[in-house]
Amino acid sequence: MADAYRTEHDSMGEVQVRADRYWGAQTERSRNNFPIGVGKETMPEEIIRAFAVLKASAARANRELKPDKMTEEKCSAICAAADEVLAGKLDAHFPLVVWQTGSGTQSNMNMNEVIAGRGNEIAGRKLLHPNDDVNMSQSSNDTFPTAMHIAAAEALEKRVIPALEGLIATFRRLEAENEGILKCGRTHLQDATPIRFSQEISGWRASLEQDREMIRRSVGPLLALALGGTAVGTGLNAPEGFDTLSAQKIAEAVGMPFCTAENKFHALTSKDEIVFAHGALKALAADMMKIANDVRWLASGPRLGLGEITIPENEPGSSIMPGKVNPTQCEQVTMVAAQVMGNDVTVGIAASQGNFELNVFMPVCAYNFLQSARLLAESIQAFNDRCASGIRANREKMDENLRRSLMLVTALNPVIGYEKAAKTAQKAFREGTGLKEACVALGFLTAEEFDLNFHPERMA
C-alpha cells in the first residue's frame, strides 16, 4: 500500500509530506534538496536534543514575557512535545542531513515543525504554528549556535570527562601496583637510562589529568549562549530580557550554568569557543595516540618484541596465522585520534567563515565537534575496559632488557668521565659483552670498583 500524504505549505507554496510524519513543508524541501549522506550523516542527535531543550526553555521564557502571545496551553503543548523529543520518541521525524544550509535554518524549522505537529496532536486541535509560536522570539541564526553550545558543553562535561576520569583512575591503580619495578627507559625508540614502571605510568596519568583540566577550562566559554540575538545580533522581535531569561531556563533544564552571551554580534558570527574546546579534544587525542602507541610497543612480541607488558587478548588477530593476537584496542584509539585531528582542521576552517553577521558553516562545525567528543569518550571507555585495566608487567623481561641496556653506563660518567664511558659502551656493543667486562678490559676500573659504582636501581 502506497504511503498516504498530506498537503503542507510555506511561503513558497504547497508541498506533499508523508501523513505519518510531523514535519512540514520546509523540512520536506530540505530533505529533497540535499540528498547528501542520507541515513549516514544526519544532524547529530546531540543537536536535536539541545534544540528540544532550547524550544521548551524559549516557550517558558515567552510565557513570562509575552503571556498574551504564548498562552499556557501553547507553552504546555510545546514543552510536552519537546519532552518527547528529549526522550527519543520522535527520532524518526528528524531526517535532515548535515550538508544543508550553513546556518542550520532547515534543522531549526524541522524542530519547529515537529514540535508544532506533535503539539497540535497533543492539544487535539491546530494550536501551534511552527514560526509564530515554536520559533517565537527566535531566529535560526541564534538558535543553531545556541544548540551547538549546549550540545558541545554537555558532550564534554557529561561524556568525555567521565570517560577520562575512568582511565585516570586505572592508571593511578597501576602506578601503585607497579611501584617497585625497574625497567629500561627509552628515548628516540632507543635504550635510555632506567625508569620505574610506575613513573612511566604516572606520565600517562598526568597527561590525561592535564587534558581533563584543559577540557574543563574550555567548557566555560561554551556556556555563553547566542539566544536572543535573533537574525543579526540586534535582538529584533525578541522582548527585553528574553536572552537572559531563556538562558536561565536552559541552565535549569540542563543542570549547567549557561548564561546569555554578552555580545550577540560575536555570538552569531564567531565560533572561536568551539575551536578552543576542540583544541582541547585534539590535545587529548594526541595524548591518547602516544599512550596507545606506548602500550602496543611495550606489549610487542610475544617473543621477538619488547614484551615488557601483557595486555588482554580480546580476539584472534589473524585469519591465517593461528594463535596470533593483536593490540586491537590500541589500534582503535590511534584511528580515533587520527579522525579527531582531521576533524580539528574542519572545525578551524568552518569557524573562519563568519562573514559579516553570520557563520554559515555551523552544521559541519557541530558535526565534527560532536563526532570527536563522542568518539573520544567511547574510545577511551573501550580502551580502559578492554586493555588498560588488564595491563600486567612482565617483570622478568623488564629486568632482562634493563640488564642488557648499554645506557646503564651513564652511571659511570661521574667516575670515569663521558668519553671513557662511551668507549666502554661501544666496546661492549661491538663485542657483545657486558659493560663490566668492557670497562675492566679497557683498564678504566677494576671489577671491584665497577661493582662499587654500578647500581642501576639507584638511577631511577
Is 278 assigned a catalytic role? no
How far apart are the C-alpha atoms of 119 and 358, rounded to whole Å? Answer: 31
Residue 141, amino acid: N
CA atoms within 13 A on the CB side of 111: 32
Tell me the three cell numbers of residue 390.
Answer: 588488564
Cis bond upstream, residue 302 (ω within 30): yes
Catalytic one of 9, 198, 318, 379: 318
Catalytic one of 76, 129, 188, 389: 188
Output the furthest CA–CA distance in the chain (Å, rounded): 101
How far apart are the C-alpha atoms of 403 and 393, rounded to whole Å? Answer: 16
Is 318 assigned a catalytic role? yes
Q: Could you give the residue numbers annotated as active site?
A: 188, 318
